A and B are shown apart, each in its own frame.
Chain A
Amino acid sequence: MGESQAIAVDGLSKRFSSTFSVRDVGFCVARGSVTGFLGPNGAGKSSVIRLILGLERCSGRALLDGTSYVDLSNPARRVGVMLDRLPAHPRHSVVGHLRMIAAGIGVQNGRIDEVLGIVGLSDVASRKIRALSLGMAQRLAIATSILGDPKILILDEPANGLDPSGLIWFKSFLRGYVKEGGSVLASSHNLADVSVIADDLVVMSKGRVTAAASVVDFVEKFSHSYVQVRTDEPDRLALLLQSRGGRVVTRHRNRVHFDGLSAYEVAKLALEWGILIYELQDFAGSLEDAYFAFAEVPRDDVTFRSLTLSVTAKRRAVA
């Protein structure tokens, strides 16, 4: 495991009865980066997180700061964890739940007020957990994960149940956390959020990792960029652009989508040929496009792994 890797997972496999739920999973999370953990329901994301944390026995290994979770001394001070549901006693109060964990990890009670302030739950500190809304419970789970001031966060669907303002808060929280040197592995269904937050991503399908790459590389590789043009002479423009290497992707009335040429090239050629265009726009591919394009093809194993993962932290530091 390199110094630049906060989490290194290698060959994790878990078999339930005769079938594998997780098979030969391997990836790493660069220090000082956010790695999005993607995949459809049942892909095995939550299982992998539980295996990384040693909550279930498996083959393979998962190292956090070079040590397995079970072997870490006072692990909650090194790795903050948020599981897909808040494992808390429903009759405990918010502050009571945090006090219990603080006692177990050797954190002063003053830190409890601090984390409640960070997640915006100070006003409901004495409320019973069963009376919390889903969004509040998520915030409490985040508070629990950062109680020990860890440098690594492993979050399973952290954005679930957060309202729009909660989402904005969460994104800014993660940015601040990573800026201070933290590393995050976060599973999510929300591709738009992942594309904003994550530097790298790991895609799982049917218990296997099918892609591990930087978000930029993944989008470049699998999404489709095109130029949208509106003109009075779509047929003529299409013919001419095709003769210069362009390709018509779609066409609807006077709107044409081309690829193979940049917006600048299209504008220059249209001017040259005297064709009036009254809309010209570059559409870069989104993570959502790339993800669905990637997921369309059935994959049984890693089919895309870029080598830029380990330099993400350096790139961020330079930026």
Chain B
Amino acid sequence: MTRALSYEWHRVRSMRATWVTVWCAILGTAIFALAAGAIAGAMGDGDLVSSSELASFAVARASMAPLGVGLMSVVSVGGEYRHGTLLTTLLVTPRRSRVAAAYFAVNAVVAAVVAIVCAGLALTLSAMVFKGFSLGMLPLPSILGIIGVHVVYSVGWSVFGTSLALLLRSPSRALLVVIAWPLLVEPIVRSAATLTGGVVSDVAKFILPFSAGGTMQEISFTGARFLFAPADTSLSPALGGLIFTTELAILMGIAWIRFVRTSRAG
């Protein structure tokens, strides 16, 4: 397994697309962090918005790590099918379960690192823009909690991207789904469900993974919510996180089984 991980790490590191997506995520985060700080300043009263909510808001809304690592995972694994390099991978590591494990593990590690970098950048830059807020106002456990949840959310995106690449075996189709599902399909479905109201709205909250995952990041340690939607209209962060991780774990299981049982090498 160590050799499979080593091979996959070298492979991911040697791809230009990996670095392009990671640097785009970091650059995008810098731009959005400045914007998020400005928006928070415009929306909330500096005295009423808690530091923890502001910090959560900056990370949740500004960090481009989730999208970046989702795309990177698709390009990394999908490239195996596109360029036929899956054959080389399977000749080095013939056990498909180990190859799948290496894909998910290496992409998850990269996702975690990128999430930490982007969260740190988002916090730092938004603090520079939002007057009256500094990172020193937040206790360390709160900062670690916010970053930890963001890491989980980003790893979820990487699992989503990796699973889609394995299921669809086409980077272009997988890229389309990775972008369209969380950013287009889910918001439309959620809005439609909200307009319908009642049970449909409640069911939508529990079914849509990225909507649930989004609420996971809406942590306000004081309980007061000014920047995020009111607590009674959305899931609790804990329940959102549970739904998000469970649904992605199921998707990962399906992709894993399909990849391990498939008869073709690409």
Contacts and interface: CB of A to CB of B under 8 A. Distances in A.
Q: How large is the interface on A (under 10, 10 to 19, 20 to 34, 35 or more residues)?
A: 20 to 34
A106 interface: yes
Given A85-B84, A87-B85, A103 B265 contact: no
A108 to B, nearest CB: 13
B85 A69 contact: no
- Of the candidates A72, A83, A100, the one having the most CB atoms from chain B within 10 angstroms of its own CB is A100
Contacts of B93: 104
Interface stretch (A48-56, A200-208, A221-229): A48-56
Given A50-B265, A88-B85, A105-B3, A81 B11 contact: no
Contacts, number: 71
A101 B89 CA distance: 8
A56 B4 CA distance: 20
A96 B4 CA distance: 17
A75 B7 CA distance: 14
B258 interface: no
B92 A70 contact: no
A75 B16 contact: no
Interface string A39-83: 000000000001001111100000000000110101110000101
Contacts of B238: none
B264 A101 contact: no
Contact of A89 (B3, B9, B79, B95): B79
B10 A53 contact: no
A31 to B, nearest CB: 22
A99 interface: yes
6 contacts: A54-B90, A56-B263, A87-B84, A100-B14, A101-B7, A104-B6
Interface of A: 50, 53-57, 69-70, 72, 74-76, 81, 83, 85, 87-92, 96, 99-101, 103-106, 144
Given A75-B92, A81-B91, 20 more contacts: A54-B90, A55-B87, A55-B265, A75-B91, A76-B91, A76-B92, A87-B83, A87-B84, A87-B86, A87-B87, A88-B85, A88-B88, A89-B85, A90-B83, A99-B10, A101-B7, A101-B92, A103-B7, A103-B9, A104-B6
Interface of B: 3-4, 6-7, 9-11, 14-16, 79, 83-88, 90-95, 263-265
